Structure 1
Amino acid sequence: MTKLMLLAGVGAAILATPAFAKEGDVLVRARAIVVAPNERSGEVSGIPGSKVGVGDSVMPEVDFTYMATDHIGAELILATTKHSVSGRGTISGLGDVANTWVLPPTLTLQYHFAPEGKVRPYLGAGVNYSVFYSAKATPSLNTALGATKVKLDDSFGYALQAGVDIPVSEKVFVNFDVKYIDMKTTARLTSGATLRTARVKIDPIVAGMGIGFRF
């Protein structure tokens, strides 16, 4: 009877041990992310001493990872964020001059260092294509320049990633992740017949935490 109880206990412990991600698995994560731009702006053409800044954003993110081997995975990251654009330098008195949405699908190739560990760190590198949409001038910009249309060029660049998965059950794990995205754009402000441009490097740090599921 004692042996049977011991075997049953061992079996229960094995079943309770979190299963490890393996070749062929699909990992789905849902994260809350903070997008913090490290922007550098050129001058807005025609307005000496003017620059712009890009504000932070907090949004949800979903990503999908396919494990090609126990160690190598490919991750597609999907999210969209809204950012304010503020005036700096000689136009700092305008406050926010525009806002825009950004759709930055990112594909990274990851290396998972300890696929059978209780803590599973990984590093990734890949590409990002950012689409800027629904950009609008604020009332303060329209007042200063007249009715203004705002357009931002799309961006293509590289992405670097580091993170860790911590399993809590056979199918569920906690995730912490940070990415650096090479992102740049040219803002085009059209006021009547006048076109003003500004080149902006955004280069955000994207930090997130959330929960993941293994399928």
Structure 2
Amino acid sequence: MMKQTLISALVLASLSAPAFAAREAGDFIVRAGWAQVSPDESSEDVAGNGEFSVDSNSQLGLNFTYMLTDAWAVEVLAATPFKHDVGLPGIGNIAEVTHLPPTVMAQYYFGSDKIRPYIGAGINYTYFWDEEFTNDLDGALTDLELSDSWGLAAQVGIDYELNDNWLINASIWYLDIQTDVDFKLGGDSVSIETDIDPWVYMVSVGYKF
């Protein structure tokens, strides 16, 4: 419900706000703040134990925006590494993985001289590392590895400009992340196709120059 309310509010602001050229081509914006990755995961059945679950994680989020015109921009999303617990029904957490999801977006800005809603679409690359079993079921689980992922991305967001340089921002991202979870179960190789497909929520402070 909270996710749907935020998305509806941002989309409504984007559609209802009048156009205004408050920014110029060549402006550069840096934002930093709280970012949460909330997976909407699904997977193939894991040896009769159900689907993988993946918990949420929050980190320092960063994004860098370059204005191509007063309305069109390119943005890069970055962050400190996200770490997630992976579990199975009835067993609990069995593994921990770390990832980074750098994303490049093309954006279109609407709005007045202070309020700048925007929408964006682009490409995500997710790199996984430090995969390890935290519960190997008495040695039955070994050799965990997740494949990297390429996928589409979309976002809505809004800037509120405090003055000529400083602003505050709220944004919601959707990332298409698919990975093959490879491991050995009792010495046999297993590969489980898994969709992570997270929603990313970010609240930040930005500086324009």
Bin for the TM-score computed over the shorter chain:
0.7 to 0.9
Per-residue displacement from partner, 1:95-134 (whole Å, max 9, x unpaired)?
A: 11111011111000000012x4221100000000101111
**Distance (whole Å) between structure 2 residues aligned to residue 62 and residue 49 of structure 1:** 37
Checking the alignment, whether the CA contact within 8 Å between 1:21 and 1:214 is kept in structure 2 is no
Checking the alignment, whether the CA contact within 8 Å between 1:162 and 1:177 is kept in structure 2 is yes
**Distance (whole Å) between structure 2 residues aligned to residue 204 and residue 51 of structure 1:** 16
- The alignment covers a number of residue pairs equal to 188
Is 2:120 the partner of 1:119?
no
Task: Give aligned-pair identity as a percent.
Answer: 34
Whichever structure has more helix as a proportion of its residues is 1
The root-mean-square deviation of aligned C-alpha atoms, in Å, is: 1.6
Where does residue 195 of structure 1 map in the other structure? Answer: 189
Where does residue 138 of structure 2 map in the other structure? Answer: 143
Where does residue 165 of structure 1 map in the other structure? Answer: 159
Where does residue 177 of structure 1 map in the other structure? Answer: 171
**Distance (whole Å) between structure 2 residues aligned to residue 30 and residue 21 of structure 1:** 20
Once the two structures are TM-superposed, the CA of residue 22 in structure 1 deviates from its matched residue by 1.6
Checking the alignment, whether the CA contact within 8 Å between 1:72 and 1:111 is kept in structure 2 is yes
Once the two structures are TM-superposed, the CA of residue 193 in structure 1 deviates from its matched residue by 3.5
If you compute each CA radius of gyration, which structure gives the higher value, 1 or 2?
1
Structure 1 runs (4+) greater than 6 angstroms displaced? none
Once the two structures are TM-superposed, the CA of residue 198 in structure 1 deviates from its matched residue by 1.3
Once the two structures are TM-superposed, the CA of residue 192 in structure 1 deviates from its matched residue by 6.7
Where does residue 48 of structure 2 map in the other structure? Answer: 48
Letter matched to residue 86 of structure 1:
G
**Distance (whole Å) between structure 1 residues aligned to residue 68 and residue 137 of structure 2:** 52
For structure 2, the residue ranges without an aligned partner over 5 or more in a row are 1-20
Checking the alignment, whether the CA contact within 8 Å between 1:43 and 1:199 is kept in structure 2 is no
Checking the alignment, whether the CA contact within 8 Å between 1:110 and 1:125 is kept in structure 2 is yes
Question: What is the SS of the residue equivalent to 2:138?
Answer: helix
